[in-house]
Amino acid sequence: MIEQKEIFEIIEGYDKDNISIAVLASHSALQILKGAKEMGFHTIAVCKAGREMVYERFGVADKIISVKDYKEFVSDRVLDELRAHNSILIPHGSLVAYVGVKNIEEKLKIPFFGTRGILRWESDRTMERDWLETSKIKLPKEFKDPSEIDRLCLIKFPGARGGRDYFLARTPKSYKKKTDKLFKEGKISQDDIDNVTIQEYISGVNMYVSYFYSPLKDEVELFGMDRRYESNIDGVTRISAVDQIELYGDPRFVPSYVVAGNFPLVVRESLLDKIFKMGDSVVKVSKDICPPGMIGAFCLEAMVNDKLDLIVFEISARIVAGTNPYIQGSPYSYIMYGDNMSMGKRIALEIKNAVESGQLDKLVT
C-alpha cells in the first residue's frame, strides 16, 4: 500500500491555487469533469486511445492524456504529467475494473480522493459481507458451496463487472451447467469460479442508494436513488410468457444482467429514516475497519421487498454510474443545495472547501 506520508509530501508540493481534477475517461467521468469545471478546477481526462472524441465533443476536459491501455494509467509518463498539473484523482467503477485494486493500492502514486484501501473491501466479497454485517445491514442468505443451493440464487463473479456473466441457478446441477458453459467460452476463469458469490435471489424492486460522506462536516448526505436497466433480461420481460418459454428453450439464448443504463427513482418518504441510518452505520464501521474510513460518494445496492425491507447485496465505495441521470441534481440534492448539484459537483465542492480551509489531508490518501 502506498503510504499516506508519500501522498502528503506530494500534496505539500502542489500549487494549491491551481489544483486539477483528474479522472479515467469512462463510467461517470462526464459529470465529474463538468462538476469540477463548475467549481473552477482545471480538468484532466485519461483516455484510452481512440475514445477521446466524447470528451472533446462535450468540452469537459481541459486536457486529455491518451493511453494505449488502461494499465498504462500507472506508468511514470502518466503519473508524472498528472502530478505536474497538481492533480487529485477521482475514483469510479471503471478505474477499479480496468486499472485494478492492486495497482491502485501499490502503483497509483497520486493524491486519491477517498480511502484507496477501502476499494479492497468493496471488491472482495468476503470482506464486503463482513463490513455490511458489522454495520447491521440486512443481507441475502449466501451459500458457501454450490452443492448447498436449495432455492433460486443469483450467481456473481468477483470485480466491478457491471453485471456481466451473472446468472440465476436453482439447483447445483443448473449452477454447474451454466458455469461450465461460461468457462468453456472463456468468459470466466478458474479464479472467478473459486471466488464466486452465491446469493439467494430476493424478489422486489432493485434500488441503488447513493450517499455522500463529508469528512469536513462529519455528515452523511443522501444524494439519490436509481434503478438499473439490464441487458438482456429487461428486454425479455417485454415479451409474453408464451414467447419467453420458447426463448428459454433455445440453447443459443443465455439470459444476462449487463447494465446498459440507469433510471432515476424517488423512494417513498417513510423509508428515508431507514435509509439514512443504513448510510450512517456503514460510514461508522468503515472508520474502524479501514481508517480513515469512507470519504465522499458511496452506494448501497439493495432490493426492497413487499415488507419494505431494504436487503443490501453490494456496496460500492465510490461514485456509481447511477448518479449520471442527476447531472442537474437529484430531488434530495435540490433540497440541500438547490439547482445543479450533481455528485461530480458535490465531490468538487468538498475538494474546493478543503483547499480553502487547508484540510486536503482529510480527503486524500
pLDDT tens digits for range 147-177: 999 999 989 887 666 667 888 899 999 999 9
pLDDT tens digits for range 12-52: 999 999 999 999 999 999 999 999 999 999 999 999 999 99
Tally of CB atoms within 10 A around 92: 24
Does 163 or 146 have the greater pLDDT score?
146
Say how many domains are in the chain: 3
Residues 162 and 270 in one domain: no
Residues 132 and 278 in one domain: yes
Sheet holding 310-316, edge to edge: 257-265, 219-232, 205-214, 296-304, 310-316
Residues 131 and 267 in one domain: yes
Tally of CB atoms within 10 A around 191: 10
Q: Which domain holds residue 210?
A: 123-137+204-324
Does 250 or 68 have the greater pLDDT score?
68
Kindly state whether residue 15 falls inside one of the protein's structural domains.
yes
CATH of the domain at 232: 3.30.470.20
Q: Position of cell 436453482?
A: 170
Give 243's pLDDT tier (boundaries 50, 70, 90). confident
Residues 228 and 260 in one domain: yes
Task: Yes or no: say if 304 and 205 are a contact pair by the CB < 8 Å rule.
Answer: yes
Q: Pick the range with the lowest mean pLDDT from 60-64, 227-231, 275-279.
A: 227-231
Kindly state whether residue 152 falls inside one of the protein's structural domains.
yes
Kindly state whether residue 346 falls inside one of the protein's structural domains.
no
Alpha carbons within 13 A on the beta-carbon side of 260: 9
Residues 183 and 261 in one domain: no
Residues 215 and 285 in one domain: yes
Residues 108 and 36 in one domain: yes
For the chain, report the end-to-end CA distance as a whole number of angstroms: 10
Residues 86 and 175 in one domain: no
pLDDT tens digits for range 96-140: 999 999 999 999 999 999 999 999 999 888 999 999 999 999 999
CA distance 184 to 249: 21
CA distance 6 to 17: 21
Q: Three-state SS for 272?
A: helix
Residues 93 and 195 in one domain: no
pLDDT tens digits for range 190-236: 989 998 999 999 989 999 999 999 999 999 999 999 998 888 888 88
Residues 75 and 223 in one domain: no
C-alpha cell at 77: 509518463
Kindly state whether residue 345 falls inside one of the protein's structural domains.
no
Per-residue pLDDT, 250 = 75
CATH of the domain at 89: 3.40.50.20
C-alpha distances in Å from residue 279, one per residue of 183, 220, 222, 285, 337: 37, 7, 8, 10, 19
- Round the average pLDDT of the chain to a whole number and report it: 93
CA distance 116 to 141: 29
Per-residue pLDDT, 301 = 95
Q: Indicate the residue among 200, 215, 244 that finishes a domain.
A: 200
Residues 192 and 227 in one domain: no
The predicted model scores a pTM of: 0.90
Per-residue pLDDT, 161 = 64
